[in-house]
Structure 1
Amino acid sequence: MLRRAGDLLTALLAFSLGSVLAWHYPLGQVAALALFLGASILAFYRLSWFLVILPALLPVIGLAPWTGWITFEEVDLLVLAMASGGYARALIAEGQAVSRRRSWLLAGFSFLMAVSILISMARGFSDAGGFDFGWFQGYDGPMNSIRIGKSFFLALLLVPLLRRLQRDTAQEAGRKLAWGMALGLGSASLAALWERLAFTDLLNFSSDYRSTALFWEMHVGGAALDGWLLLTVPFAIWGLRNARSALQHALAILLIVVAAYAALTTFSRGVYLALIVALPLLAWQTRRHASAAVVQPEQLAWGPLRWSIALLALGAMAFLVFPGGGYRGLMALLGCIAVALSMPMALRHITIAQLVAGTLVGVMLGALLVLMAGFIPKGAYLLYALICLSMLAVLHGFRAGLQGNQRIYCTAGFIALMLAAANVADHWGGSEALWGMIAALSVVVAVAARGIFATRPVWSGDLRWQATFMSSALAVCAVVAVFVGGGYMSERFSTSEQDLDGRFDHWTLSTSMLQTPLDVAFGKGLGRYPANYFFAIPDNKFPGTYQISRDEEGAFLSLVAPRHPISFGDAFRVSQRLAFNAQGPFEASVRLRAQAETSLQIEVCEKHLLYVAACAIGRANIKVGEEGWQSARIPLKGPLLNGGTWYAPRIKMFSLSVAKQSGAANIDEVILTGPDGESLLENGDFTNGMKRWFFSSDRDHMPWHAKNILVNVLFDQGCFGLSLFLMLTAGALWRLNMSEVRQYEFAPYFSASLIGFLIVGMFDSLIDAPRLALMFYILVFAAFMPNAFCCQGGKRPPLTQ
C-alpha cells in the first residue's frame, strides 16, 4: 500500500512539473504539452522503449540557442514524461512482482549525495544573493544551481523504474539500453558530420574548427561532445559484436566509422587519450565474453597482438602514401587492401606456374592500360575504379574458389590493380607520391602472398570480419590524415606541455576560491563557478557578461565587453537564431546608450555555435555627451547568405557585441529587417528577458569551467561532496570490474564507458553539462542495482588471468 501511494505521488509530481515546463516552453506551449502528454502515454504502455529513446535523442534535443532556456531543457520534459507514465503504470499494475533485492550501498551513497547536493544548492542560492526564480537566467543567477543539481535527481527519479524494467525477459532491457546508447552515439556523430559539411570542408583538418555537434553547452567551451562520445563508443562496439544480420553488421560498422570521424574532428587530446585507454581495456575485458552464437570461430583467431601489428602496418603504409598521394592515394591503397583480403580464398590452390603466368600477364596488360588511360581525361581514376570494382565483383562472386585459368586471370587483375593504383599516385602527386605508393603496395603484395600460400588461414574469409578490418583501416588512414595533413592537430600536440601547465595554474586558482572552512567543507555552491571566477581573475582576463536590467521605461540588455584586446573571435556575444531562408541584405535598428564612448557590433552570420562561415556586419557608434537613449539604423555589409547546400544547410545567427575593450552599453528595441522590410527577430525589446536570446564566448573558455571533473565537484560541493562522488564512482567501477558482476555481458561496456568519461573529465568539468551528468549518473546507478542491465545477458566464461 505504501509503495502504491509513493507511485501515485511520484507520478502526479512528475506530470505536474512536466506540464508546467511544457506550458512555459518558448517555442510553442500547445505543441510542447501535446508532445509531453504523448510521451507520458507511451511510457505508460511501453516504458522499456525509453531505454532506447532517451539516450538516442539526448544529444539532439537541446534547443537552448532557439529557446533561450538554459536552466530547463527538452530532456527534462522527456525524463518527466517517462517518470509520469512509468509510475502511473506501476500504480495500476497487478500481479507483477517487483524484485525485493536492494543495493543498500546505492541507497546510502545516493542519499548522502542528495544531501550534499541540496546543501550546495542552498549555498548557491545564498552566494547569488538569495533565490529568485526566472525562466531565462544565465550562469550568474541562482537558477544555475538548479540547472547543475537537477541531473542527479532526475537520474535518481528513474532508479525505481529501471529496477522494474528488470522484469523484461532475458537480456532485453540491457539490449535496449545498449542499442539506445549506440544510437545516441550515431545521432551525435551525424550532427557533427552535418556541422563539418555545412561550415568547413569534410576533409579540412588544418583549420581550427572543432566539432560541437548539437551540444549547445559548448557555447562557452567545454567538452560536452567529447564526454558523450566516450560514454557511448563502447556500446557501438557491443552493437558490432552482437549484430545478428549482415545489415546490422554493416550499420554498426558505418556507425563506428562516423563516430571515429566525429572523435577525430574534436581535435581533443583528452578524447584521443581516453579512447587509447578505454578501448584496449574493453578488448581485454571482453576477450572471453564473445558469444559463439553471434561471432564465428574464425573471427576470433586474431588476438590483440595481431591486431596491433596490422594497425601499425596500416598506419605505416598510410604515412608513406598520404604526404604525396593525398586522399586519392589513400583511397587507392584502401581499395587494393580490400581486394587483397579476398585473394587467399580465391587462389588457395594456385600453383607457382599459374602465379608466374598471371603476374606476367598482369604486368603487360596493366602497363598497356595505364598508357591508354593517359589519353583520357581523369583516365587514371577511371581505370583504377574499373579494375577495382571488377576484381571485387569476381572475388565475391567466386568465394568458393577459382579453377584453372581463372586463377591466372585473377592474379593478372590483381597485378594490374597495383599498377593502376601506382598510376593514381603518380597522376596526382608525381614521383614523390609514386615511390610512397610503391613501397606501400609492396607490403600489400607481400601480405597477400603470405595469405595465399599459408597452410592455415592467416585471416578470416568472413565478409563481416573483412568489413570490420576495412573500417579499422579507414579509421587508421583518417588518423594519419589528421596528423600528417592537418597542421592544427600537430600544433595542438606541440603545445601540450604548455597547455597542461596552464591547466594546473587554472586548477590552483579554482581551488583558491574556496576561502572559508564552510567553502572547503561544502563548496561555494552549485553552479557558482563562473560568477566567482569573474572576481578572482586578473582584470585583463574578464571575458565579458550581460544582464537584463529594468528601469521606468521597461527592460533592456546591459552588455559588457571583455577587458582584454578583442579580435573577431574574442567578442562576448548575445545572439538569436534566424530562419534558414534569411539571406539578406539586412538592416538593423537599435536604441542604445552608454556612459563612455563605445561601439556596438551587429552581425548576421552563417554560424552554428562558435565558428562562422560568412557574415554581414555593421557598427553603431555611441557618442559621448548625448544623454539618454540614442537611436541608430545600420545597414549590414557583406555577402548574401545563401545557407549552404540542401543536405547540409547553414544556420543563421544574429549577434550583438560591444566592440571596444572594456566597453559597456545598454541595448533596447533591436529590430532586424530583410529586403521585404519584415522584422526577423522576436523579443527584441527584452520584455520577456532572454527568451529566444542566447549568449556565447567564442574563444574565452577558462572563466566558465573548472576544467576538471574533480575540481568542479570540489568547488561546487566541497570535500563532503567530492568524497561522496569518489565513493559513488569508485563503487560502481569496483562492482563492474572486481565483483561477480564482471562475468556478465554488459559489465565491460559499462566499465569502459565510465572510465573513458572520467579520463576526459581529467581535463574538463563535464558534469556542468546537465545532459551528460544525467546519463553518467544513470549508468552509475545501474551498475549498483542487483540484476541490473550490466548484469544481464547470462554469465560468460570466467576471465582468466
Structure 2
Amino acid sequence: MLTPSINLPVALAAFSIGSILALNYPIGQFIAPICFLLCALLAFYRLSLFPIIIPVIMPIIGFAPWTGWLSFEELDLLILATAAGGYAKSVVEGKQPSPKRTSLLFLVLASSMSASILISMFRGFADAGGFVFGWFQGYDGPMNSIRIGKSFFLALLLIPLMARLQDNPENNISQKLALGIAIGLGTASLAALWERLAFTDLLNFSSDYRSTALFWEMHVGGAALDGWLLLTFPFSIWALRNSRGNAQFAISLCLVGLALYASLTTFSRGVYLALIVSLPLLAWQTRGHLKDAEKQQKIPTWGFFRWIVALILLGTMAGLVFPAGGYRGLLALLGLVAVAISIPSVLRGMPFALFLTGGMAGLLSGVLLIAIANFLPKGPYALYALILAASFSSIYWQKIRKARTGEFVCTASFFALLLAAGNVADYWGGIEAFKGMSGALAMLLVISLWGMFSRQALWPNELRWQGSLVTAAIAACGVVAVFVGGDYMGERFSTSGKDFEGRKSHWTQTIAMLQTPWDMAFGKGLGRFPANYFFAIPTGAFPGTYQINEESGNAWLSLVGPKHPISFGDILRISQRLPLSSQGPFELNFKIRAKTDVGIHAEVCEKQLLYPGGCAIGNVEIKGTAGAWRPVHIPLVGPLLNGGPWYAPRLKMFSLAVGTQSGTADIDDVQMTTFGGQNLLTNGNFAHEMERWFFSSDRDHMPWHAKNLLVNLMFDQGVTGFVVFLLLTVAALWKVNFGSARQHELAPYLSAAFIGFLMVGVFDSLMDVPRLALMYYLLVLYAFSIGQRGKVVHLGVPSNDVPAGQYKR
C-alpha cells in the first residue's frame, strides 16, 4: 500500500494523464471528458464497485475501429479514472496503510518486471529511429512500445487500491473480483453470440468464420478472444458453485453454456486443449471445497470419476445421433436426457408389474400417436414436444402426490417419449438416423432402468445437479456437432502436424532476429516484432503497410501492397466504420498518384472485423500518373446492405486497398456517397492523420505475431524479461497451489485461469494484446496479495460460517 505522501502525486498524475487522453479522444467533443470525470467520482465514493466494473466491460470497451486509436484506448481512461478517484480518497481519508506485510519476493519481481519493461520500451524507441509522439501511429512506430508496455503499469497501479479494499472485510473484494470476471466472460460470450447470429448461422460449424467478439486486436489475427475465454472461464464455475437460489444457478448455467459456445466457435485447437486441461484440473483442485459446500448447503454431488464417465456416455450418444439425425435429433436426445435423470427418483420402489404395465401402455399409445402425427405437417416434432411436456408434468405431480396412478403415467409417458424421439430422427434423416438414435435410446434406457431399480440412488435427486448434467449434455452435443458436423474443424485437425512445423519455423525465425548480445539480454524492444519481421524475413512475407505523409500543409495516405500474390483476404485494408443505416448504392471519389500502374480495390461490406458478409465492391486499374494527382470515380457494385436482423445487426465497414502485388499509391480526399449525395466518411483528407481510420489484414497473420507467448517475450524483452515473467508466473502459481494462499477460496480458480491462459499462449502471443496483458498481470499480482483466510460467498452475499482455512485441497 502506498503511503499517504505518495497517494497525492499518484492521484494527480493519474487525473492529469487521463484528462489529456480524454480531451484528445477522437469521437465526441465532451463525451470522453465527462465520462472520465464521472468514473473518477464514482471511484472516489464507491471504489469497491470497480473490481466488478473493470472486468465486466474490459472485453467490450475497445472502439479502435471507430476512433482510429491504437496506442491508447478507452480502458486506459477507465483505469486512470479509477486510480485518480481511489488515490484521492486515500488522501482525503488520511488513513495510514494497514500493517499488512508485503512480500519481499513480490517487491523484487514487480520491480524487476518494471525495470525490464522500461528498458525494453526505450529499446523499442531506439529501434523505431527515436521517440516521436503520435495519437494515431501504427504498429511500426515508437508508440507501439507504449501500447504494449503500459499494461503492466496499469495493473500495478490498481494493486494498492485492491489491497486497501481488502483491509475492510466488508468489501468482499475477492468475491466482487470473481463476480466481475465471471460477468466479463459473459459479456465477451454474448458479443461472440451476436457475431455468429449476425454474420453466420448459429449452428453453422462448416464455414471458416471464427468468432472474434469485440476484440479489435484480432484485426491482424491472433488469439485475443481465446486468451480472454481461458483466463475467465474458471470463474463461471465459481459463479455456478457459489450461486444462491435457483434463479442465480440458472443464470450461472446459462453463462457456462454461453462460454462453451464462444469457445467452440473460436475453432481454436489451443482453446480446446486448454479447456481439456484446465477444467479437469479445476475440478480436482476444488474437490475438497465441494465437500465443505455440501455440508453447508446439503447439495449432493458426484465425484470426478463419475462425471468423466457421464461425459463419455453423453458424447457417445450424441455421436450416434448427430451424423444422420442432425440438430433435431440432438434436441430430441437432450429432452430425453432431462427426463431420464429426473424420473428414477419418482419411480424407485414401484412394483415391477406396475412398471411393466405402464411401459406397455406407453409403447402402444406411442405407436398410435406416431401413426397419426406422421400424417400432419411437422407432426413428429409437435408430438415429441407434447409428450415431453406431459412427461415433465407427470414427474412434477408425482413428486407432490406420490400416487400409484402417477407412477403409471410417468412410466407410460417415458416410453412414449422414447418412441417419439426415434420418430423425430427417422422423420428428419431416414433409416440411418433412426439406427443411430436407436443405439442412443438403448443406452439411455439401460441407464434409466438401472437408476429406477437400484437399491440406492445412482445420482442426486436435486434440481441444480440435474441442471448441471443437462448443461454437460449440451456441451457434449456441441463438441460432437463441431467435430462431426463441421468440415472446417476436421480440416484444421488434419493439418495440425503441418501447422505445428510451420509454427516452429516461425519461432526459429523470430529468435534469429535477436542478433546482438544486447538483443538477447533485453530484446529488440516492446512491440517491435511487426516492423522487424517486415525487413528481416524474405520479402514474400511482407503484408503491406501504410503511412500518413505531409507536404506544404497537405496530408495524404501512402499505401503499399503485399509482396506476395494477393487474394481477396490477403490485401491490407484501410477501413472506416459506416453508420448502420448505410445501405447503398455507393460511389467512391478520391485523388490518386502512382509512379507505376496500380490496381485499387474498394468495398463496403457488412463486417465485424475479418470476415465479410454482403459486399458492394469496386476495382479500378490506374495508370502511372508521373507524380501528378488524378481524380478517380468508382461505383461500388453489389446488393443493398440491409444490415441483418434487428436482434443481431450487422456492422458496416468501408475499406480501401492496393490490389496489385507490391503496388504503391498515394491517396487523398476520399469521399464516399450514397443516395442523396451524402458523404459517409470522416477525415477523408487525412488532415487528422488516421483519426477514424483503421487497418486490417484479414488472412495474412504471421507477420504481425510471434505466435508464442514466451517467444514473444523473448523477442520484446530478451532473456531478462523472459526469466522475470516466468519467475512472476511460477511464484503466483506456487502461492495459490502450495503457498500461503492455497486455502483461499479463489486459489483454484486463479490457478486454472493461469494454466489455461498459458496453454493458449503456447500457440499465440497474447501479451501483445494490452487488454489481455492487463488482466493477466492484474490477477498474477493480486495472487500475491491474498492470504489464508477468506469467506464463503454466494454471488456476493457473504457468510462467515466457514473460513477459507478450512478448505482442503
Q: Is the 8 A contact 2:591 2:668 kept in 1?
A: yes
Q: Look up the equivalent residue of 1:795 and give its one-letter code.
A: A
Instruction: Give the alignment of 1:700-739 within 5 angstroms.
Output: 700-739=700-739
Q: Does 1:760 align with 2:760?
A: yes
TM-aligned CA deviation for residue 4 of structure 1: 1.8
TM-aligned CA deviation for residue 337 of structure 1: 0.8
1:23-69 deviation digits (Å, cap 9, x = unpaired) = 00011131111100000000001111000000000000000000000
Q: 1:795 aligns with which of 797, 804, 807?
A: 804
TM-aligned CA deviation for residue 785 of structure 1: 1.6
3-state secondary structure, aligned to 2:634: strand
**1:2/1:266 Cα in 2 relative to 1: closer, same or farther (>3 Å)?**
closer
**1:539/1:642 Cα in 2 relative to 1: closer, same or farther (>3 Å)?**
same
Question: In structure 1, what is the equivalent of residue 353 of structure 2?
Answer: 353
Instruction: Give the alignment of 1:183-262 within 5 angstroms.
Output: 183-262=183-262
TM-aligned CA deviation for residue 304 of structure 1: 1.2
TM-aligned CA deviation for residue 291 of structure 1: 6.3
Q: Look up the equivalent residue of 1:730 and give its one-letter code.
A: V
1:53-95 deviation digits (Å, cap 9, x = unpaired) = 0000000000000000000000000000110000011111155
CA RMSD of aligned residues (A): 1.6
Instruction: Give the alignment of 1:293-372 within 5 angstroms.
Output: 299-372=299-372
Q: Is the 8 A contact 1:22 1:29 kept in 2?
A: no
TM-aligned CA deviation for residue 5 of structure 1: 2.1
What is the CA–CA distance in structure 1 between the aligned matches of 2:172 and 2:82, rounded to whole Å? 18
Q: Look up the equivalent residue of 1:432 and give its one-letter code.
A: E
Q: Is the 8 A contact 2:514 2:523 kept in 1?
A: yes
Aligned residues: 800
Percent identity, aligned pairs only, is 58
TM-score (norm 1): 0.98
Greater mean deviation of Cα atoms: 94-103 or 484-493: 94-103
3-state secondary structure, aligned to 2:288: coil
Q: Look up the equivalent residue of 1:554 and give its one-letter code.
A: N
1:433-465 deviation digits (Å, cap 9, x = unpaired) = 001111101111111111111111111111111
What is the CA–CA distance in structure 1 between the aligned matches of 2:484 and 2:540, rounded to whole Å? 37
1:376-435 deviation digits (Å, cap 9, x = unpaired) = 100000000011012112212332463112211211111111111111000000000001
Q: Look up the equivalent residue of 1:593 and give its one-letter code.
A: R
Instruction: Give the alignment of 1:434-453 within 5 angstroms.
Output: 434-453=434-453
What is the CA–CA distance in structure 2 between the aligned matches of 1:46 and 1:463, rounded to whole Å? 37
Instruction: Give the alignment of 1:38-187 within 5 angstroms.
Output: 38-94=38-94, 98-169=98-169, 172-187=172-187
What is the CA–CA distance in structure 2 between the aligned matches of 1:764 and 1:190, rounded to whole Å? 23
Question: In structure 2, what is the equivalent of residue 691 of structure 1?
Answer: 691
TM-aligned CA deviation for residue 541 of structure 1: 1.5
Instruction: Give the alignment of 1:202-601 within 5 angstroms.
Output: 202-290=202-290, 292=292, 299-400=299-400, 402-552=402-552, 554-601=554-601
Q: Look up the equivalent residue of 1:643 and give its one-letter code.
A: G
3-state secondary structure, aligned to 2:631: strand
TM-aligned CA deviation for residue 300 of structure 1: 4.2
Q: Look up the equivalent residue of 1:561 and give its one-letter code.
A: G
What is the CA–CA distance in structure 1 between the aligned matches of 2:571 and 2:637, rounded to whole Å? 19
Q: Look up the equivalent residue of 1:521 and give its one-letter code.
A: A
Q: Is the 8 A contact 1:606 1:650 kept in 2?
A: yes
3-state secondary structure, aligned to 1:740: coil
What is the CA–CA distance in structure 2 between the aligned matches of 1:680 and 1:83, rounded to whole Å? 38
**1:437/1:110 Cα in 2 relative to 1: closer, same or farther (>3 Å)?**
same
3-state secondary structure, aligned to 2:244: coil
Greater mean deviation of Cα atoms: 385-394 or 182-191: 385-394
TM-aligned CA deviation for residue 798 of structure 1: 5.5
What is the CA–CA distance in structure 2 between the aligned matches of 1:586 and 1:294, rounded to whole Å? 63
What is the CA–CA distance in structure 2 between the aligned matches of 1:162 and 1:6, rounded to whole Å? 16
**1:515/1:97 Cα in 2 relative to 1: closer, same or farther (>3 Å)?**
closer
What is the CA–CA distance in structure 1 between the aligned matches of 2:604 and 2:644, rounded to whole Å? 15
What is the CA–CA distance in structure 2 between the aligned matches of 1:615 and 1:266, rounded to whole Å? 24
TM-aligned CA deviation for residue 624 of structure 1: 2.7
Q: Is the 8 A contact 1:346 1:400 kept in 2?
A: no
TM-aligned CA deviation for residue 744 of structure 1: 1.9
TM-aligned CA deviation for residue 293 of structure 1: 5.2
What is the CA–CA distance in structure 1 between the aligned matches of 2:626 and 2:601, rounded to whole Å? 20
Q: Is the 8 A contact 2:212 2:266 kept in 1?
A: yes
3-state secondary structure, aligned to 1:26: coil
1:693-735 deviation digits (Å, cap 9, x = unpaired) = 0000000001001111111111011111111111111111111
TM-aligned CA deviation for residue 536 of structure 1: 1.3
What is the CA–CA distance in structure 1 between the aligned matches of 2:621 and 2:552, rounded to whole Å? 25
What is the CA–CA distance in structure 2 between the aligned matches of 1:791 and 1:708, rounded to whole Å? 37
Q: Look up the equivalent residue of 2:705 and give its one-letter code.
A: H
Q: Is the 8 A contact 1:43 1:81 kept in 2?
A: yes
What is the CA–CA distance in structure 1 between the aligned matches of 2:62 and 2:807, rounded to whole Å? 42
3-state secondary structure, aligned to 1:206: coil
Q: Look up the equivalent residue of 2:375 and give its one-letter code.
A: F
Q: Does 1:670 align with 2:679?
A: no
Q: Look up the equivalent residue of 2:578 and give its one-letter code.
A: L
Question: In structure 1, what is the equivalent of residue 799 of structure 2?
Answer: none
TM-aligned CA deviation for residue 627 of structure 1: 4.0
Q: Is the 8 A contact 2:294 2:300 kept in 1?
A: no
Greater mean deviation of Cα atoms: 284-293 or 475-484: 284-293
Question: In structure 2, what is the equivalent of residue 638 of structure 1?
Answer: 638
3-state secondary structure, aligned to 1:322: helix
TM-aligned CA deviation for residue 375 of structure 1: 1.5
TM-aligned CA deviation for residue 552 of structure 1: 2.6
Question: In structure 2, what is the equivalent of residue 778 of structure 1?
Answer: 778
Q: Is the 8 A contact 1:381 1:424 kept in 2?
A: yes
Q: Look up the equivalent residue of 2:310 and give its one-letter code.
A: A
**1:625/1:544 Cα in 2 relative to 1: closer, same or farther (>3 Å)?**
closer
TM-aligned CA deviation for residue 108 of structure 1: 1.0
What is the CA–CA distance in structure 1 between the aligned matches of 2:655 and 2:413, rounded to whole Å? 59
Q: Is the 8 A contact 1:86 1:161 kept in 2?
A: yes
What is the CA–CA distance in structure 1 between the aligned matches of 2:221 and 2:294, rounded to whole Å? 42
TM-aligned CA deviation for residue 152 of structure 1: 0.5
Q: Look up the equivalent residue of 1:546 and give its one-letter code.
A: Y
Question: In structure 1, what is the equivalent of residue 10 of structure 2?
Answer: 10
Q: Look up the equivalent residue of 1:628 and give its one-letter code.
A: A
Q: Look up the equivalent residue of 1:319 and give its one-letter code.
A: G
Q: Is the 8 A contact 1:171 1:792 kept in 2?
A: no
What is the CA–CA distance in structure 2 between the aligned matches of 1:488 and 1:789, rounded to whole Å? 48
**1:792/1:135 Cα in 2 relative to 1: closer, same or farther (>3 Å)?**
farther
Q: Is the 8 A contact 1:746 1:792 kept in 2?
A: no
Q: Look up the equivalent residue of 2:28 and give its one-letter code.
A: G
Q: Does 1:653 align with 2:653?
A: yes
1:601-630 deviation digits (Å, cap 9, x = unpaired) = 110000110000010011232113554011
Q: Look up the equivalent residue of 2:468 and give its one-letter code.
A: T
Q: Look up the equivalent residue of 2:223 and give its one-letter code.
A: A
Q: Is the 8 A contact 1:226 1:271 kept in 2?
A: yes
What is the CA–CA distance in structure 2 between the aligned matches of 1:625 and 1:736, rounded to whole Å? 65
What is the CA–CA distance in structure 2 between the aligned matches of 1:96 and 1:388, rounded to whole Å? 64
Q: Is the 8 A contact 2:222 2:701 kept in 1?
A: yes
Q: Is the 8 A contact 1:598 1:622 kept in 2?
A: yes
What is the CA–CA distance in structure 2 between the aligned matches of 1:788 and 1:301, rounded to whole Å? 26
3-state secondary structure, aligned to 1:376: coil
TM-aligned CA deviation for residue 292 of structure 1: 4.4
What is the CA–CA distance in structure 2 between the aligned matches of 1:44 and 1:798, rounded to whole Å? 35
What is the CA–CA distance in structure 2 between the aligned matches of 1:140 and 1:408, rounded to whole Å? 74
